[in-house]
Structure 1
């Protein structure tokens, strides 16, 4: 069975890659001089640091990353800072405006993310099957044969920019409580980490996290979409979303733990060790933050249940009088 990339027509990831390349062409005349000026200043005041960073990037860059757009770390930094700046400014601007109703836009946004998440989950698993991947211990393939998987991993990385819109919707709806440290940290850090994964090794073990996270997002954005349409029957899913996310983190920790054990103790070749170790540490931070979020929500739900029960008892007492 042929790889998806061998079909006689363009696939969604190809269109997104073309889009990113086009944006890069139009923004280059504005961004390149800024990047050059910043690098010149850094070379002037911190030449050793610049030398080491350049050496590190040159040493770890996958040949496949050169076939993909949005791989310049300066652009990644700009997008991340732009995301944080938009949050900072947006929340202050919205203080002077009423809450905007963006139901139609939210529906479209959630539908797009459900669709692309389902596509990425299926596409990554299909390419993994084609490449004869096992559950764990899959080495990075930097040859041309790895390009189809690399494109899927790139699409997963690029989709993290689309998830930034979650925050923008919260801001215009004035749901500032939802724009928590966990929310901002997760969105900003995951985008940067997946740039690094795509830059260094967009094949091999990267498939597991991409497929698993895409599957969880099908459930999450599917719930948001159906809830916005008024399907109250799906409300029970809300209580399982955070649990499923924490389960995901545990599974990724198991993967990274096994891979590190395999490489360092058993001496087997494997995925880049520093990426595997980064995944392990990052999953610990996510598990801790999400568990804290889960506990707070459970406490609030319990308190709300008590208030509702007390109100019902009061109402019943009034009727008996």
Structure 2
């Protein structure tokens, strides 16, 4: 008993998350595996050539490090994404017939959890990068054992996107349907799927920068949400949150552009690189994020001006 207690304490928080998701997998697999086998069998018989190409691509692409981590099965990722979208759809229908719920306690714990988790991820990823001599950009993928610790932290960042789904569920329970925009839903489910792919293919190297930067932004963002829920909002932060988010997108685009030039133009013969598919995906995704967030920022500033104008007229 004492040995088990010592092992529990000596483990890092990330190891407890890994154990937790492994346990969920053990419980859920007997129910999900037959469904997965049926779908794969149908896919294989209907589109044999495509099935074979996809299977070969997945087998070739997966990092040996991500193969040791839970929740790497793309079928499970798809199920979680579908469950998220269906929960929003049916949740809004369910709540349309009821009064909005008081979710203050839930919001406090949710925001406190994400502030704590984001702080942990930012610090551990940054420290691991410093310890292993990472440069700012152009860090190659590491498939050996020495890259596994960073892989665990990047994996944690990926699964943390599931907990962020609660943002939307709280909006549904509060009947704040105006907040459940295309941008909000698209960002939440797409970032989850993209980070699964990043973790699946190369859970270290260049992926550290985006994970650390986004974690830092989330410390600020969820810190503001927490202060608001606790009724002492840090008001000056509100208008800057979207700017922080857009700044990180620009920095990630700079990273992707630098890597493309570094690995594909200046050193095309170099073998020890970061997967180009992930760099290209990062660049394209950041374009969509910048466009959507810029549109949201403009609309939000217009709403502020209208609200201020109405307030000024009332005060006259």
TM-score normalised to structure 1 length: 0.94
SS in 2 for 1:63: coil
Q: Structure 1, residues 45-78: CA drift from partner, whole Å, max 9, x if none?
A: 1111110110100111000011100000000000
Q: Decide whether the 8 Å contact of 1:139 with 1:270 is kept in 2.
A: yes
Aligned to 1:277: 280
User: By how many angstroms is 1:309 displaced?
Assistant: 0.5
User: Could you tell me which of 274, 282, 291 is aligned with 2:294?
Assistant: 291
Distance 1:55 1:106 in 2: 43
Distance 2:231 2:80 in 1: 34
The structure that has the greater radius of gyration is 1
- Say whether residues 1:253 and 2:253 are aligned partners: yes
User: By how many angstroms is 1:178 displaced?
Assistant: 0.6
SS in 2 for 1:69: coil
In the TM superposition, 1:118-267 aligns within 5 A as 118-232=119-233, 234-267=234-267
In the TM superposition, 1:11-50 aligns within 5 A as 11-50=12-51
User: By how many angstroms is 1:251 displaced?
Assistant: 0.1
Number of aligned residue pairs: 306
Distance 1:311 1:166 in 2: 34
Distance 1:273 1:74 in 2: 24
Aligned to 2:65: 64
Q: Structure 1, residues 147-193: CA drift from partner, whole Å, max 9, x if none?
A: 10000000000100000010000000000011100000000000000
Distance 1:9 1:183 in 2: 38
For structure 2, which runs of at least 5 residues remain unmatched after alignment? 1-7
User: By how many angstroms is 1:261 displaced?
Assistant: 0.6
Distance 2:11 2:159 in 1: 17
Aligned to 2:3: none
Q: Decide whether the 8 Å contact of 1:259 with 1:270 is kept in 2.
A: no
User: By how many angstroms is 1:228 displaced?
Assistant: 1.0
Q: Structure 1, residues 182-223: CA drift from partner, whole Å, max 9, x if none?
A: 000000000000000100000000000000000000000000
Aligned to 2:4: none
User: By how many angstroms is 1:270 displaced?
Assistant: 2.2
Q: Structure 1, residues 243-288: CA drift from partner, whole Å, max 9, x if none?
A: 0000000000000000001111102442100100000000000000
Distance 2:9 2:31 in 1: 36
Q: Decide whether the 8 Å contact of 1:111 with 1:225 is kept in 2.
A: yes
SS in 2 for 1:99: coil
Q: Decide whether the 8 Å contact of 1:121 with 1:215 is kept in 2.
A: yes
User: Could you tell me which of 277, 286, 300 is aligned with 2:303?
Assistant: 300
Distance 2:132 2:70 in 1: 23
User: By how many angstroms is 1:8 displaced?
Assistant: 8.1
Distance 1:190 1:77 in 2: 13
